[in-house]
Structure 1
Amino acid sequence: MEKQKKPSRQQVYTLLVQIGRKDGDGLPEGATGAALMCFASGVDEAEAVRETVAILKQADTAPLDVTGYGTLAEREAQGHEIDPDERALMQRALDENAVIVAQMTPFFGDEKTL
């Protein structure tokens, strides 16, 4: 008996994840951590956060904090300008039910936040 595919309730959330240092994390020498801009699919923001943290841990990073910026529609309602490249990455995250790391900004010295 074939399962009928239900319409997806997945949405893509924009998340800013701060990571600390961990052996094998791939951050540049001298970095104290980094901020990762991620697009993650989920039925709600909590699921997107859980999936993102789990994947980042599997990738030998040390997630410390996650800030959610909402869905594409929520960001647009807040007046965020979203360029075509960012929209394409968000669509890819949705199509692949994935977490996409769109940008990494390493921290050096006393920097702790963006």
Structure 2
Amino acid sequence: MPAIPWLVAPLISLLLQMPAMAWEEGDRQAYNNKMALLKVLVDGAKDRATSSGDLETLCILMSIGNDVTLRYVQLNPADQVIQTRLSGMRTDLTSCLAVLYNPLASR
């Protein structure tokens, strides 16, 4: 029985390191998967923001998308398509925050 923890511990540590290894390898598919999930969440938050005025959730999700994209760009600086996307995402986040903190700006 005491040998089981020694067999399980390396497996757990390997599983915990897998996401980090995917970033280090520049895994564009991992980035695309994360952004696809975030897009679904952002679309729902946009609907919620228009129906109930909940801009906080929308801005938070947009900020997460910016962080994920920025991290990808830092690790893959040659990817011009994603750098352009990041620029647009920053503009959208700035607009969201402007409306959130200055409701008169949306009028």
Q: TM-score, normalised by structure 1?
A: 0.24
Q: Which has the higher contact order (CA 8 A, sep 6+)?
A: 1
Q: Which has the higher helix share?
A: 2
Task: Say which one has the larger Rg.
Answer: 2
Q: Which has the higher strand share?
A: 1
Q: TM-score, normalised by structure 2?
A: 0.25
